[in-house]
Amino acid sequence: MGSFANTKDLGSAQLTIQGTTIDLPLFEGSENEKAIDIRALRKETGAITYDPGFVNTGCCLSDITYIDGEKGILRYRGYDINELAEHCEFIDVAYLLIHGKLPDDEQHNQFSRHLNSHSLLHEDMRHFFDAYPDHAHPMATLSAMAVSLSTFYPELEDVSIQENIDYKVTRLLSKLRTAAAFSYKKSIGHPIVYPKRSLKYCENFLNMMFWTPVNDYDVDPVLAKALNKLLILHADHEQNCSASVVKMVGSAGANLYASIAAGICALWGPLHGGANQHVIEMLQRILSDDGGDVKRVIERSKDKNDPFRLMGVGHRVYKSYDPRAKVAKQMCKDVLARTGTTDPLLDLALQLEEAVLADDYFVSRGLYPNIDFYTGLTYRAMGIPTNMFTVMFAIGRMPGWIAQWLEMREDPDGRIGRPRQIYTGPVQRSVK
Ligand code: SDX
């Protein structure tokens, strides 16, 4: 849990407002990020801060994830993303984010067994899919499944709060992965495939997605490794939009399932996790409508009068190359090589990236490819359909959302989230 015990006191910052000067505590975290503690601001000056999108505003102290946007650094609990992606399984990283340390062999095996034993959906929940139209977006069903877990698996009276949380964590990580595969099978009219005890987390997902009674699908270990890496890349990312929504809902006392369901909906937005689906759709349109004319696309994306935006480019925090995009780019090439296929959309994406990196409009604004620029291409190379890409992001982000929610709930400074505003509407007037 984030704590002032791990910060360094830097004295104070002085603020003068209309002749009144106040001292506000100044401190820095373990990576020398500086912050002004403005908790006394309104009481002492009557003023509040104004910061649309919270670009300059920190909402908490956190021990979970650290990003250096200028240097393109991402660490979970102090471990660099490249090391975790190379040497760990996704469930190890999920354990790390939630418990603060990597599991030893026994803890890994026990966690894997728990995830397997909670991998089935309640049969009544399985029938939810019968009521959805085939074209239902799987992010809608995933959010509905998340909040519905609270009705099928209410709080257990005879166990501790911690055990209740452990059950919720395991169910969210395991059952939502199963629900994601079920929604895909429903969308293509195939019989659903149940999880198998003999398969590990990622292998089980691939088997549930691609095995059919007439296609004896064998999980390719290279694709399973690629899926582990992709989920690790997505596992957490500080106070991003969807994590902030999970915490905002949780700060009101709502249960973890309801908080996660809200986070899934936030992630669905095209400016956030939905970008990975929109990148592919953008690349397909560029090929079909513009004949792959990269120059024209770049000019359109710089034209303020043109609503077109380059999806998968730019980031609120990274003003350098997103370290996750580097890993995803190489993985896309590896998976295509493994499957012996090529993808004209990857060739186009590489041309677009080259044009972005050479154009001062983007470089001067710190606009580089982000995680969503290549991950969709990798999922596509694995045979995962476009409308499932953001679901894959949600499965990966699940442990990060859970870890952020738990940290918020344990925070002694934690309060219900309720930003203020400055009113600019009509002053008092009478109906008569
Ligand atoms: C994710 O927060 C996280 O950590 C998110 C995430 C995670 O892991 O949780 O990393 C996942 O959401 C990645 C981002 C996916 N979204 C996209 O790829 C959509 C395309 N990108 C943009 O819409 C935008 O870059 C955002 C939404 C990502 C960031 O928006 P900001 O920080 O509010 O930046 P902005 O819109 O104010 O842009 C700053 C400038 C503007 O130009 P000027 O006003 O300075 O002239 O950069 C321009 C923008 O017009 N700009 C772009 C652009 N993105 C920003 N111009 C062209 N194409 C783009 N993609």
- What average pLDDT does range 198-214 have in this prediction? 97
Residue 158 pLDDT > 80: no
How many A from CA of 273 to the centre of ligand 1? 12
% of the chain with per-residue pLDDT over 90: 91
CB of 240 sitting under 6 A from ligand 1: yes
91 close to 108: Cβ distance less than 8 angstroms: yes
Question: What pLDDT was estimated at residue 5?
Answer: 87
**Model confidence over 366-424: pLDDT tens digits?**
999 999 999 999 999 999 999 999 999 999 999 999 999 999 999 988 899 999 999 99
| Distance from C-alpha of 180 to C-alpha of 228, rounded to nearest angstrom | 16
Q: Which of 178-182, 252-256, 411-415 is the least confident region?
A: 411-415
- Beta strands of 18-149 (E only): which ranges? 20-28, 34-36, 65-68, 73-76, 79-80
Answer whether 372 contacts ligand 1 (Cβ < 6 A): yes
- Residue 8 three-state SS: strand
Which residue's CA is minimally distant from atom 23 of ligand 1?
271
So what's the pLDDT on residue 292? 87
Instruction: State if residue 301 touches ligand 1 by the CB under 6 angstroms criterion.
Output: yes
pLDDT at residue 125, as a whole number: 93
- Work out which ligand 1 atom sits closest to the CA atom of 55: 32
Residue 90: which of 223, 196, 227 has the closest Cα?
227
Say if residues 362 and 356 touch (Cβ distance below 8 Å).
yes
> How far is it, in rounded angstroms, from Cα 392 to Cα 149?
19
Q: Which residue's structure tokens are 């090391």? A: 83
Write down the pLDDT at residue 230. 97
Q: Which two structure tokens, joined as six digits, stand for 138?
A: 């799987």
User: How many angstroms does the Cα of residue 272 sit away from the middle of ligand 1?
Assistant: 9
pLDDT digits (tens, 9 = 90+) for 35-73: 999 999 999 999 999 999 999 999 999 999 999 999 999
Q: Which pair of tokens denotes residue 127?
A: 């029938």
The fraction of the chain above a pLDDT of 70, given in percent, is 100
Average predicted confidence (pLDDT) for the chain: 94
C-alpha–C-alpha distance, residues 401 and 241, integer Å: 11
Is the shortest distance between the CB of 233 and ligand 1 below 6 Å? no
Q: Are 260 and 401 in contact (CB under 8 A)?
A: yes
pLDDT tens-digit map of 305-357: 999 999 999 999 999 999 999 999 999 999 999 999 999 999 999 999 999 99
pLDDT of 77 > 80? The answer is: yes
Q: From ligand 1's centre to the CA of 316, what distance in Å?
A: 6
Provide φ and ψ at 34, rounded to 5°. -95, 145
- Give, for ligand 1, the residue of 59, 268, 316, 373 to mutate: max count of ligand atoms closer than 8 Å to Cβ: 316
For the cut 80, the answer to whether the pLDDT of residue 156 exceeds it is no
65 lines ligand 1 (CB under 6 A): no
CB of 231 sitting under 6 A from ligand 1: no
Question: Taking the CB of residue 122, how many other CB atoms lie within 10 A of it?
Answer: 14
- Flag whether pLDDT at 362 surpasses 90: yes
Q: Return the structure tokens found at 152.
A: 């099928």
Is the separation of the CB atoms in 225 and 218 below 8 Å?
no
Q: Is the CB of 235 inside a 6 Å radius of any atom of ligand 1?
A: no
Q: Please give the single-letter amino acid code of residue 32.
A: N
The ligand 1 atom nearest the CA atom of 365: 47
Gap between the Cα atoms of 11 and 34, Å rounded: 11
Which of 310, 315, 397, when mutated, tests ligand 1's pocket best, judged by the most ligand atoms within 8 Å of its CB? 315
* Ligand 1 mean position, distance from CA 111 (Å): 37
> What positions carry a catalytic annotation?
315, 372
| Upper half-sphere CA count for residue 302 (Cβ side, 13 Å) | 16
In this structure, the number of other CB atoms found within 10 A of the CB of residue 127 comes to 10
Do you know the residue count of the chain? 432
∠97-103-109 over CA atoms, to 5°? 120
Q: What single string gives the DSSP state of each residue in 183-214? A: HHHHHTTPPP----TTS-HHHHHHHHHH-BTT
Question: What is the band of 161 on the pLDDT scale with cuts at 50, 70, 90?
Answer: confident
**Closest ligand 1 atom to 240 CA:** 2
* Average pLDDT of span 255-276: 96
| pLDDT the model gives residue 159 | 74
The burial class, CB within 10 Å (0-12 / 13-18 / 19+), for 140 is: middle
Query: What is the predicted pLDDT for the residue at 284?
Result: 95
The pLDDT-based confidence of 155 (bands split at 50, 70, 90) is confident
